[in-house]
Amino acid sequence: MTAKQDETSLKVFANNVMLRDFPDMDADVAFQFINKAYDARVFATTSASDMGDWYQDHFKPYVFLLDENEYTQATIQALRIQFLIAGTDFGSSRQRDLGQKWSDTIRGYLGELGVKQVLQKKFGVEISLGHEPGTLKEFLSLDIHKIKLPNESALRNPKLNVSIKTAKSNGIWLDIPGDQFNHSDLYVLALIGVGVDHLFSFFKHLSVFKDKVLKKGLDNNCINQFEADEIYNKVPSFKSVYGYIPGLVTSNTNLNDYTFEGRMGLKNYLISNWSGKYETEFLQTIRDQYGATKVEFEGIGHFSQSNRYIFGLKSLKYSDADWNNFLINKI
């Protein structure tokens, strides 16, 4: 198939299958979920069989839906930690970026709430998240603070350090900086169907714009009613948040090595999957191996710096047996 035919097949599947089961999921989010799984070569072709297998095995069992109450919880907890981060690690020069950091932290907490929901729904495992005040080190390495398995009577301390990482619905990489990789035993990735405007949508839902900001503009004759309505209508409305858990990886996976998959174009090599340690000099090895002018990563181009660990969606463990072997039976 051509790239255009592949895109059409993916959109048809998203609209006819995914939205049939989840009719209130945003159509663009549904397409991003399946399109990025294909870009990462989690499934090999856009045949109905390959897409159906991905949907039934990788996606549908690990879907979560977060409502307004859960978004509110994430918003408040994310705001709480901002001052700890700014005051403890980054200093006053980062204070002006509070809004962006707040929005990013909300997205991260939504991923953690999604993992909590999936573990409860699919495995009967109850967890308490690390949203209480504490040191920055605790926030970075221990996202599951307490756990209770189905055969246990009360929450207890976990035996593993579990880190939950969150990316947007168009993400395909679990990206862990080198120092963080040494702090946790297990990493879980959550993909979240929210865009860059999710916090503004929530403010709109709370009437912050209409009753506060825009009203103030009207009162001060900064804008007229037509302009206020136009601005208000451009802000997307708030919706419950869909996401899914593509899988997990342990901290001993390719600890000092890496594997990769990709394809060679006319001049450049495009990496669709990576597993393990990443250093920029590794790309030179790949360039030499394939005679490529340059080497890039699917969907992102380049990572900003070396000394990190990268795992594509295809590298993640996702089956019931994987969850039991690597997390539930050890934590």
Place 132 in a pLDDT band, splitting at 50, 70 and 90: low
pLDDT of the residue at 131: 62
Q: Do 89 and 171 sit in the same domain of this protein?
A: yes
Place 307 in a pLDDT band, splitting at 50, 70 and 90: confident
> Could you tell me the two tokens for 208?
């912050």
Mean pLDDT of 7-13: 97
Q: Do 172 and 253 sit in the same domain of this protein?
A: yes
pLDDT of the residue at 39: 96
Place 287 in a pLDDT band, splitting at 50, 70 and 90: very high
pLDDT of the residue at 250: 95
Q: Do 77 and 135 sit in the same domain of this protein?
A: yes
Cα dist. 282→160, 200, 208, 257, 274 in Å?
A: 31, 40, 49, 10, 12
**301 vs 42 pLDDT, higher one:** 42
Q: Do 153 and 301 sit in the same domain of this protein?
A: yes
Q: Do 312 and 262 sit in the same domain of this protein?
A: yes
User: Which of the listed residues 17, 43, 61 is the one where a domain comes to its end?
Assistant: 61
Mean pLDDT of 73-102: 68
User: Which of the listed residues 61, 78, 98 is the one where a domain comes to its end?
Assistant: 61
pLDDT higher than threshold 70 for residue 160:
yes
Q: Do 127 and 275 sit in the same domain of this protein?
A: yes
pLDDT higher than threshold 90 for residue 42:
yes
Q: Do 140 and 259 sit in the same domain of this protein?
A: yes
Q: Do 266 and 245 sit in the same domain of this protein?
A: yes
% of the chain exceeding 70 in pLDDT = 92
Range of the domain at 23: 3-61
Q: Do 144 and 33 sit in the same domain of this protein?
A: no
Q: Do 183 and 300 sit in the same domain of this protein?
A: yes
Q: Do 102 and 10 sit in the same domain of this protein?
A: no
Q: Do 118 and 220 sit in the same domain of this protein?
A: no
User: Which of the listed residues 206, 234, 262 is the one where a domain comes to its end?
Assistant: 234
% of the chain exceeding 90 in pLDDT = 66
List, for residues 220-261, the tens digit of each pLDDT value.
989 899 988 999 888 888 889 999 999 999 999 988 899 999
Q: Which residues are 297's β-sheet partners?
A: 271, 301
Between CA 55 and CA 41 the distance in angstroms is 14
Q: How many domains, the chain?
A: 3
Helix-helix angle 68-85:198-205, to 10 degrees: 120
Mean pLDDT of 81-108: 67
pLDDT higher than threshold 70 for residue 145:
yes
